[in-house]
Amino acid sequence: MTDVFEGGEKLPLIEEFYTLQGEGFHAGSAAYFIRIGGCDIGCRWCDTRISWRADLHSLASVTDVIAKVASTPARAIVVTGGEPTTYNLAPLSREIRKHNIKAFLETSGAYPLTGEWDWICLSPKKQQLPQPEFYDIAHELKVIIQDEADLEHAERQAELFRNTPHLYLQPEWSRHQTVTPMLVEYIKTHPKWKISVQLHKYLNIP
Ligand code: SF4
């Protein structure tokens, strides 16, 4: 069968934009986002459902995309989705690093990792837990919280790391007005965690 992705040299690109990272450890820092289509995880609160079907998005050459990023002042690229580990990410990460730009990955960890990354943010989903390797290599654990039951999931995920990563709890946006106060109280009694508030939504930027 023809590999339309040419081993990761081409990827279904949903959108790309230069903005400020709104979530987790790098919140507030400038970053160029590359959103790749294709995800079979099916989170019920997913705010990027347009990303689920890869075939709706045009294939883009990773060389062309990263050459464009390199013409901007961006010093970090965040690869997100969709679920980027669906694909061979080695050509993309190689191209990013060739331009001396930091390569950051946002993933649920659903599939084995490819490529080399300066920063991995693991955002595990209950219905398809991460590949075990991510508990050794992720720099940041970011768990989306929709209700109190998700806190148990977050704690179980944190326990699986050998070395403690940066730990974030992030209110699911459609319920943030209810969940945020609950997380503030939870973090006061469980101070290993920090809150991640989707700063970009408060700033009204992409
Ligand atoms: Fe949406 Fe991400 Fe869940 Fe996929 S893993 S369904 S893109 S929130």
- Helix H, strand E, coil C: the string for the chain is CCCCCHHHCEEEEEEEEEEECCCHHHCCCEEEEEEECCCCCCCCCCCCHHHCCHHHCCEEEHHHHHHHHHCCCCCEEEEECCCHHHCCCHHHHHHHHHCCCEEEEEECCCCCCCCCCCEEEECCECCECCCCCHHHHCCEEEEEECCCHHHHHHHHHHHCCCCCCEEEEEECHHHHHHHHHHHHHHHHHCCCCEECCCHHHHHCCC
Q: Is the CB of 129 under 6 A from ligand 1?
A: no
CATH of the domain at 148: 3.20.20.70
Domain count, the chain: 1
Q: Looking at the domain assignment, is residue 160 inside a domain?
A: yes
- Ranges of residues in the chain with a pLDDT under 70 are 1
Say how many Å lie between the CA of residue 174 and the centre of ligand 1.
15
In a domain, 183, yes or no: yes
The whole-model pTM stands at: 0.97
User: pLDDT at position 139, please?
Assistant: 98
The whole-number pLDDT of residue 111 equals 98
Query: Could you tell me if residue 15 is inside a domain?
Result: yes
Domain membership of residue 190 (yes or no) is yes
How far apart are the CA of 72 and the centre of ligand 1, in A?
28
- Domain ranges, residue 109: 6-203
CA–CA dist 74, 66 (Å, integer): 11
Q: Rounded CA gap, 147 and 129, in Å?
A: 18
Q: What is the pLDDT of residues 118-176, one digit of tens each?
A: 999 999 999 999 999 999 999 999 999 999 999 999 999 999 999 999 999 999 999 99
Q: Is the CB of 39 under 6 A from ligand 1?
A: yes
Return the pLDDT at 12: 98
Query: Is 118 a catalytic site residue?
Result: no
Residue 1 lies in a domain: no
Quick one: pLDDT at residue 110? 97
